[in-house]
A and B are shown apart, each in its own frame.
Chain A
Amino acid sequence: MSERDPDAELLEQVGRHDAAAVRTLVARKLPRLLAFATRMLGDRMEAEDVAQEVFVRIWKHAARWREGEAKFDTWIHRVALNLCYDRLRGRREQVRDELPDEVDPAALPDARLEARSRDARIREALAALPARQREALVLCYYQEMSNIDAAALMGITVDALESLLARARRNLRAQLADSGLSKDKP
């Protein structure tokens, strides 16, 4: 017997338009969805738009949600992923060139500057990956999905997922080596 979807009960309450349940669901899922969309798109503002759109879909479908076909968490990732791809298709290869907001280095303390610079390098390396490799890596590494769930979400086999993950990590290693940065010191 399969385990119950951990979000099922909360979703039923959301489907009954319970205000407290709505707030709980937003607190539970928004950080996760926002991080996912941010890493997929490399753009915070667009990621926020995607997250809002995902919740609009949730409000629309909550009352009719039925357990069994897919976990709710997998479903919202699929919705977010489709919305991300809509945007990525819209701007094609611009993703690589879009780094986080430019800031005046003089206005930032050293620690924050270093952190922002480090995040920018990693985000740039992620953005440079082919989309499917980035998707596999973000789902498995950052979203901590099981290989089975991630493969199901992507519509591929676990073997194919592992191949994408391995290629993504090899590409990252090559990029970081090319940039002359130590692999041990992010």
Chain B
Amino acid sequence: MTPERFHQIIEAYGADPRRWPEEERAAGQAWAQMHRQQADAWLAQEAGIDAWLAADTVAPPDAALQRRIVASAPVRGPRMQRRAWWWSGAAVAGVGLLGGVAGALAVSLFVLSEAVPPVHDSYLTSSFGGSSADWSGE
């Protein structure tokens, strides 16, 4: 690092080493340490301009501008939501239909394949008919 190059760097990039070219930052800082008086005089001159520049602020974008820009983007959100809603409705209907079909199938199989279970004859009579008691003698 030469005095000329150090001067060029701070004339272009200012007094803050963080703004100096990365590949020359360490050498520039080392030069400033070794030539404190000369470096301080040059740095002070540029620090004044840095302070002026740093004082300028720009207000952040307002919410309305952000909304306008976001709204200008092609996004798949609403369409996907409609599609998702349609699919979820179809899924519920499908599950219901499958349940009905399964139930009907089970009943059909039962009717076709199951024999009527044997029952005791006594079950075929009610308590009002076919009583074994014979009241004819009375």
Contact = CB atoms under 8 A, between A and B. Distances in A.
B73 interface: yes
A69 to B, nearest CB: 22
Secondary structure dominating the interface of B? helix
A27 B65 CA distance: 11
Interface stretch (B11-19, B83-91, B92-100, B124-132): B11-19
Contacts, number: 111
Interface residues of B, number: 33
Interface in A1-58: 14, 16-19, 22-23, 26-27, 30-31, 34-35, 38-39, 44, 48, 51-52, 55-56
17 contacts: A17-B73, A17-B74, A34-B65, A38-B58, A51-B65, A55-B72, A55-B73, A56-B72, A118-B55, A119-B55, A122-B55, A126-B56, A140-B13, A141-B19, A166-B8, A173-B49, A186-B51
Interface of B: 8, 11-14, 19, 21-22, 46, 48-49, 51-61, 65-66, 68-70, 72-77
Q: 10 tightest A-B contacts by CB?
A: A183-B48, A186-B55, A165-B12, A19-B75, A162-B12, A19-B77, A35-B58, A122-B56, A166-B11, A22-B73
